[in-house]
Structure 1
Amino acid sequence: MLAVLTVVTLIGWLVDDREVLGVNLWEKPLKFAISGTIYALTWSWIIGHFTRWQRAAWWAGTVITVTLAIELVVITGAAIAGITSHFNVSTPLATTLWSIMAVAITTLWIATFVAGIALWRNPGADPARQAAIRTGVAISLLGMGLAFLMTSPNAAQLADFQGIAGAHTVGVADGGPGLPLLGWSTIAGDLRIPHFIGMHALQALPLLALLLELGARRVPVLRDALVRRGLVLTGAGAYLAVVGLVTMQALRGQSIVAPDALTLIIGATIAAASLAAALAVLAAGSRRGRTPVAASGGGSSS
């Protein structure tokens, strides 16, 4: 169903030029369709490797898919009606749609949490992959939780209530200039950024683990599963730090495209610390001189 909705929203985006808050009304449904489909497919892949808690994981995965579909249907319906979906309580219909979405979003977080518990109860054959998936799920839950920062009415809305309670941007009203397709504000802070980056740690960190496995074919030190795990954990730490940085940046009302000196210094510190940690992991692996572990093999014990 998510794949079908992705195709529908893509067609709408290509042929319908109507706008809501200054952007194509199909842009938001399309973004959510792509993101939701990737998220559901990732969980399907993860759950397919479970050897324990399979029934609980299957139900959690089903709930994840259904809640994503419900959210996307509401967003698409609101777009077709020419109204905003998030934070809109201006009419009984808008309030009902937003309430449905709020329940779906909360249920999605709970289902992901349950699937995460099941994941931690399943041992992985490869320690690097296991570390990547576990940390990816944990950071993803954090990223999803950051969405709740957007749901409270801001000072301007409280001072002059117009039926909107909550906002993506910090410092200006929603609907200003933004990055193509992503829509992230280019003039103010945007809380969608840490939400998006955090949520998709679920894909980024397992992808890092897979890239390291591919690299092991040419780089001998990467054949050690403990080295790959160390690099994955380093990447996870850096990823979490970046989520924290862009959250701070958004809350300060600063656009992602206009970082100030403080943001740049913190970003450079994260990069330098991550590089140093990665080099330390590689050096330790070289010194150990242990028998290499095949990239696709069972991995060594920790």
Structure 2
Amino acid sequence: MSAAPFELRRRVTQWHRPLMLMVASMLALLVVSLAGLVLDDRVLQGAPVWLKPLKFAVSLAVYGTTLAWMLSLPHRGRRWTSGMATLFAVAAFVDVGIVAVQAARGTFSHFNDSTEPFEEAIQRVFGMGVMSMMLANLVLAIVLTVQRVGPDRAASRAIHTGLALAVAGMFLGFLIPFQGKPHTGLTTGGLPVPLTSGHSVGVPDGGTGLPITQWSTTGGDLRVPHFVALHGFQAMLLLALLLAWLAARHPILRDERTRARLIGVAALGYAGLVALVTWQAFRAQPLTSPDLLTLGAAALLAGLTTLACGAVLAVARRGGEAVTEPGEPARLGDSGAGSGWTDGVTR
């Protein structure tokens, strides 16, 4: 039996401890939330009361694991990155804990403007946690963007662009409180609670929404660009991993510079997608009901991204032909492309 799985497990246990403890707590909350969805039929503003903790648990578990893997890679400024990751882990644990506590109480964790002392204290702590997570991500992005991180240029480009997208996603989250209007919500017990804002645009919160995400299907919803941008980090890393896998089968992708350029193009296209869904939400348009203007913009974005990718591959193909000798295969850089992707977990 191969020892690789055991080595992988050993390395994972050595990842950033506070982040992995936070991830473990999110997985525990995921189990509790799933049980709550089955056993607790209370509804808050049109959604099952345990759905929000479940979504936060999944999102933070994925994000925390990604950060922990990234910090396992060799890089400079480890004291700074470790400290910021610890700040992120603590803030995430506290804030998602508040989301879970408020769900159990059948009341609101976001936009709650109640003057009760306990609610005011919770909101102050919650706000500090949000600011701490954003600060931690911003510092991590700055420290890591000025250096190469990862087994090759493509992975480094994916980390840099992914962190930039994630930071943008956190900033987009700040648009939500500023666009909504103050209104009153009802707890699961029917008690009125003053709310400072909402996430829907053009319609009240609590209307018909998509399954699981509950994104509005009757108006705009600023949770869409917030989510899309925040998890651009994972999207860029998955793309880098896919390109490394394809490089073993397609010689044109064996040059890490070509893969890095493709990731750069994809990141620009992804940023365009974030801008598109933000624009769509502010126009009070549901994600599921784009008008012709939105569809036209999406088609233009897809076309430009495809053309740019084609241009990158055309340059790579010409470069490969330039170094090919008669009777010899093209040499496109490192033939072991992607072999270092698991350095952070298997060495």
**Would the aligned equivalents of 1:13 and 1:27 in 2 still touch at CA under 8 Å?**
yes
Structure 1 runs not aligned, ≥5 long? none
Task: Answer whether contact 2:222 2:278 (CA < 8 A) is retained.
Answer: yes
Q: CA deviation at 1:156?
A: 6.1
Provide the rounded CA distance (Å) in 2 between the counterparts of 1:170 and 1:224.
Answer: 45
How many Å apart are 1:96 and its aligned residue?
2.7
Mapped partners of 2:175, 2:301: distance in 1: 24
Distance in 2, Cα, partners of 1:230 & 1:121: 18
CA distance in 2, matches of 1:287, 1:87: 56
Distance 1:228 1:153 in 2: 39
Question: For this pair of structures, how many residues does the alignment match?
Answer: 297
Give the deviation of 1:202 after TM superposition: 1.1
Q: Are positions 1:295 and 2:337 aligned together? A: yes
Q: Which residue of 2 aligns with 1:23?
A: 47
- The residue aligned with 1:8 is 32
- Structure 1 equivalent of residue 133 of structure 2: 108
1:174 to 193, 205, 208: 205
The Cα shift of 1:257 comes to 0.7
Q: C-alpha root-mean-square deviation of aligned residues, in Å?
A: 1.8
CA offset at residue 153 of structure 1?
6.3
- Counterparts of 1:51 and 1:257, CA distance in 2: 42
Structure 1 residues 38 and 298: alpha-carbon distance in aligned structure 2, compared to 1, 3 A threshold: closer
Question: Using the alignment, how far apart are the partners of 1:154 and 1:241 within structure 2?
Answer: 24
Structure 1 counterpart of 2:189: none
1:262 aligns with 293
Deviation at 1:298, TM superposition (A): 7.3
State yes or no: 1:73 paired with 2:74. no
In 1, distance between residues paired with 2:193 and 2:339? 59
8 A Cα contact 2:180 2:200, kept in partner: no
- Given that 1:234 and 1:274 are in contact with CA atoms closer than 8 Å, whether structure 2 keeps it comes out as yes
1:1-302 equivalences in 2 (<5 Å): 1-92=25-116, 93-124=118-149, 125-152=151-178, 154-155=180-181, 157=183, 163-289=194-320, 290=323, 291-292=331-332, 293=334, 294-296=336-338
CA-to-aligned-CA distance 1:155-193 (integer Å, 9 cap, x gap): 4649xx961101100111111110101110000000000
The residue type equivalent to 2:72 in the other structure is G
Residues in 2 aligned to 1:60 and 1:122: alpha-carbon distance in whole angstroms: 17
Q: Is the 8 A contact 2:245 2:338 kept in 1?
A: no
Would the aligned equivalents of 2:112 and 2:193 in 1 still touch at CA under 8 Å? no
User: SS of 2:84's equivalent?
Assistant: helix
Q: Could you report, residue by residue, the CA deviation over 1:8-51 in whole angstroms, capped at 9, with x for unpaired residues?
A: 22222232221111111000000000001111111001111133
TM-score by length of 2: 0.82
Q: Percent identity?
A: 37
Q: Is this contact kept in 1: 2:224–2:277, CA < 8 A?
A: yes
CA distance in 1, matches of 2:88, 2:314: 41
Give the whole-Å Cα distance in 1 for the aligned partners of 2:88 and 2:273. 26
Give the counterpart letter for 1:95 in structure 2. Answer: E
TM-score computed with the length of structure 1 as normaliser: 0.94
Q: CA deviation at 1:262?
A: 0.8
SS at match of 1:112: helix
Structure 2: runs of 5+ lacking an equivalent: 1-24, 185-191, 324-330, 342-347
Measured after TM superposition, the shift of residue 152 of structure 1 is 2.6
**Equivalent-residue separation in structure 1 for 2:266 and 2:297 (angstroms):** 16
**Contact kept in structure 2, 1:52 and 1:121, CA below 8 Å:** no
- Paired residue secondary structure (2:174): helix
Tell me, yes or no, if the aligned pair for 2:180 and 2:199 is still in contact at 8 Å. Answer: no
Cα distance in 1, alignment partners of residues 98 and 340 from structure 2: 44
1:224 shift after superposition: 1.1
d(CA) in 2 for partners of 1:231 and 1:153?
Answer: 36
Tell me the secondary structure at the aligned position of residue 307 of structure 2: helix
